[in-house]
Amino acid sequence: MVGAATAKVGPKFEVVIPKELRRAAKLKVGDFLHAELRSNGILLKPAAIKQIKFKNELKRHLRDAEEDRKRGLVYGPFESAEELLDSLHKGVKRLRKRSHRRA
């Protein structure tokens, strides 16, 4: 079994994994690899697709949450649970006043 091989870093920092290593690792075109910096170099290992999808979904949700914060659609931050509850109670009172005005 092949354990190591040499690869060259291209002009766009792409690295071609030698054929014998690709076969041994059962890599296919389109597979994702996780790159991890180690003290003695860079370790490449197969990345689970679920992890990648989760990370992309998490990034999307965080981006949406940040947009909501910028548009003033969220409350907080709060220093304590008591401060949070006070804010919620005030919000409920405002909503009740609005609904009474419409009725």
Strands in 13-75 per DSSP E: 33-38, 41-46
Helix (H, G, I), strand (E, B) or coil at 98: helix
74 exposure class (CB count in 10 Å sphere: 0-12, 13-18, 19+): exposed
Question: Which residues touch 44 (CB under 8 Å, ≥6 apart)?
Answer: 17, 33, 34, 35, 36
pLDDT digit of tens for each residue in the chain (103 aa)?
A: 567 888 899 999 999 999 999 999 899 888 889 899 999 999 999 887 776 778 888 999 999 999 998 888 888 889 999 999 999 999 899 888 888 776 6
Q: Supply φ then ψ for residue 38, to 5 degrees.
A: -120, 165
